[in-house]
């Protein structure tokens, strides 16, 4: 299975990652190897899988869900304690002019 540079770039964009040209060159053979590893399952499941709806192997049954109880949420000052918060907000650089 060969992976083109363009495919890597698309996946990187979807993953919110970026790789330099040099990194990409190193990454492609590694990635091809891991895809080949994953590919071992192909050929084992015969036929069309489109009829399979339940793909979540671990689902929680509806009746297992707890009651929706209102409880105190964590205080703002705790939640923002990992950044230099401004008026209780997470600061980012201005995005709207």
Residues interacting with other proteins, by CB under 8 A?
8, 11-12, 14-19, 27, 30-31, 33-35, 37-42, 44-45, 49-50, 52, 55-58, 60, 64-66, 74, 78-83, 90, 92-93, 95
CB-CB contact of 35 with 3 (8 Å): yes
Tokens 């671990």 belong to: 58
Cα dist from 52 to 14, 41, 45, 57, whole Å: 25, 17, 12, 12
- Helix-then-strand count for the chain, H and E: 3, 0
Nearer to other proteins, 21 or 64 (CB): 64
Q: How far is the CB of 15 from other proteins (least distance, A)?
A: 5
Please give the span between the terminal C-alpha atoms of the chain, in angstroms, as a whole number: 46
Q: To the nearest whole angstrom, how small is the minimum distance from the Cβ of residue 3 to other proteins?
A: 9
Smallest separation (angstroms) from other proteins to the CB of 58: 4
CB 91 within 8 A of CB 83: yes
| Shorter beta-carbon distance to other proteins: residue 25 or 83 | 83
Residue with smaller CB distance to other proteins, 21 or 30:
30
């Amino acid at each position: 299975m060969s992976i083109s540079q363009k495919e890597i770039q698309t996946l990187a964009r979807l993953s919110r990652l970026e790789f330099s040209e040099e990194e990409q060159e190193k990454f492609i053979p590694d990635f091809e190897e891991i895809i080949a590893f994953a590919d071992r399952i192909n050929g084992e499941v015969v036929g069309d899988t489109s009829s399979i709806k339940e793909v979540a192997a671990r689902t929680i049954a509806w009746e297992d869900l707890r009651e929706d109880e209102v409880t105190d949420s964590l205080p703002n000052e705790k939640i923002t304690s990992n950044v230099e918060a401004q008026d209780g907000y997470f600061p980012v650089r201005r995005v709207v002019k």
